[in-house]
């Protein structure tokens, strides 16, 4: 902004949960709603030299004055949006040469996990208004358009959950199998699902899912995380995925209040039973606006004036007992799951007070 005098607009989850970033130097506008309509109107007004401090969904700073405009009552009808102009990004080699595409079928997640921003978004927008998917026909039409232009080998669906309603899922899978037929990956949705549906996924091209268990401790998952999924349900779904040869990554949080090395040792058995292709480990980050951040158990371990790491993987934020051992443990946890015979050695290494362990088996679920 100092260099070229650009007008700066901040949006998405961080801006919605923390709209007072408008007061920060260098921030001109904060978008607290869906961006397609207000950003288009902002661009048109700038082109015409018109004032833009009254556009719905925008908080606009003008000198010492701040105009806070509410969101429209009606949410965007996703089916009416144009196809995404992916050609805009072809100047970047990563996108121009990528063998896979990312695609989002809709917005919102029906769950209220305390470690996630989703509960705050549901309250911000309203549950019924926010959780939406393209109709299956609209989603397939855009996918056909992209596939014809780019000939990808893989589709990664980046929705928080791949589907919300089972009827939508079954219609989508039938169309995808008929008209797209490329291998795909997505986030699995726990809930009332049948083995026949998993079979349909495999037949449609499902290759990889993220099965977000979060922890091997059902009590921790249900109570602290407010994720009402049983270990039995996760084991059942994992069995179906193995049966139909669909690979899956699972997940494990470190750095939650109450965590101990002994707890994580006990949870190894659960992860060995579900046998994920990979176990994705992450540190809990108590970001502002997240429900779990406000919990007493978290606040009492909050460090003073500590900056957040740039990723969820390198270090633990909370000052928990035996912190350094837990950091070491996180780095090698997948190896303990995949190779039980290595567990005694790796367990001993985590006791070393200085960072002997330079291995970090974390990877991003992105490139297939």
pLDDT in tens, 42-81: 999 999 999 999 999 999 999 889 999 999 988 999 999 9
Choose the weakest-confidence range: 1-5, 174-178, 212-216, 269-273. 1-5
Q: What is the mean pLDDT of residues 6-33?
A: 94
Gap between the Cα atoms of 119 and 76, Å rounded: 20
Report which secondary-structure segment, H or E, holds 144.
helix 136-150
Query: For residue 168, what are the contacts with CB-CB under 8 A and spacing of at least 6?
Result: 133, 136
pTM of the model: 0.90
pLDDT digits (tens, 9 = 90+) for 72-106: 988 999 999 999 999 999 999 999 899 999 999 99
Band (367; pLDDT cuts 50, 70, 90): very low
pLDDT digits (tens, 9 = 90+) for 235-249: 999 999 999 999 999
Q: With contact defined as beta carbons under 8 Å apart, do 173 and 119 qualify?
A: no
Q: Which two tokens stand for residue 285?
A: 């980050």
What is the DSSP code string of 176-232? HHHHT--EEEEE---SS--HHHHHHHHHHTEEEEEE----S-HHIIIIIS-----HH
Other beta carbons within 10 angstroms of residue 205's beta carbon come to 18
Other beta carbons within 10 angstroms of residue 76's beta carbon come to 16
Query: For residue 238, what are the contacts with CB-CB under 8 A and spacing of at least 6?
Result: 211, 248, 250, 273, 274, 275, 276
Gap between the Cα atoms of 97 and 94, Å rounded: 6
Three-state SS at 318: coil
State the number of CA atoms in the 13 A half-sphere of 66 facing the CB.
Answer: 13
pLDDT exceeds cutoff 50 at 368? no
Q: With contact defined as beta carbons under 8 Å apart, do 349 and 333 qualify?
A: no
Q: What are phi and psi of 149, to 5 degrees?
A: -85, -35
Other beta carbons within 10 angstroms of residue 4's beta carbon come to 5
Band (366; pLDDT cuts 50, 70, 90): very low
Gap between the Cα atoms of 58 and 68, Å rounded: 7
């Amino acid at each position: 902004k100092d260099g070229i005098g650009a007008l700066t607009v901040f949006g998405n989850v961080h801006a919605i949960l923390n709209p007072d970033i408008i007061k920060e130097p260098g921030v001109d506008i904060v978008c607290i709603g869906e961006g397609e309509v207000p950003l288009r109107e902002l661009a048109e007004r700038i082109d015409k030299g018109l004032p833009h401090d009254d556009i719905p969904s925008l908080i606009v700073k003008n000198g010492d004055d701040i105009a806070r405009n509410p969101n429209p009552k009606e949410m965007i009808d996703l089916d009416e949006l144009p196809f995404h102009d992916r050609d805009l990004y072809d100047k970047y080699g990563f996108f121009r040469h990528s063998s896979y595409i990312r695609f989002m079928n809709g917005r919102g997640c029906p769950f209220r996990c305390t470690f996630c921003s989703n509960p705050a978004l549901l309250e911000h927008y309203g549950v019924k208004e926010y959780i939406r998917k393209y109709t299956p026909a609209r989603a397939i039409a855009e996918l056909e358009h992209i596939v014809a232009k780019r000939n990808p080998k893989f589709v990664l669906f980046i929705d928080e959950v791949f589907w919300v309603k089972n009827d939508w899922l079954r219609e989508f899978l039938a169309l995808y199998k008929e008209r797209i037929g490329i291998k795909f990956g997505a986030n699995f949705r726990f809930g009332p699902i049948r083995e026949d549906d998993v079979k349909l996924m495999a037949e449609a091209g499902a290759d990889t899912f993220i099965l977000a268990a979060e922890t091997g401790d059902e009590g921790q998952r249900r109570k602290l995380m407010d994720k009402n999924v049983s270990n039995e349900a996760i084991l059942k779904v994992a069995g179906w995925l193995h049966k139909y040869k669909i690979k899956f990554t699972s997940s494990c949080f470190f750095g939650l209040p109450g965590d101990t090395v002994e707890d994580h040792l006990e949870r190894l058995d659960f992860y060995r039973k579900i046998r994920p292709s990979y176990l994705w480990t992450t540190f809990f980050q108590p970001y502002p606006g997240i429900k779990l951040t406000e919990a007493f158990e978290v606040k009492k371990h909050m460090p003073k004036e500590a900056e957040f790491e740039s990723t969820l993987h390198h270090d633990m934020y909370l000052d928990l007992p035996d912190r350094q051992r837990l950091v070491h443990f996180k780095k090698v946890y997948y190896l303990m799951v995949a190779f039980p015979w290595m567990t005694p050695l790796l367990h001993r290494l985590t006791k070393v007070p200085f960072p002997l362990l330079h291995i970090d088996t974390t990877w991003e679920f992105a490139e297939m």
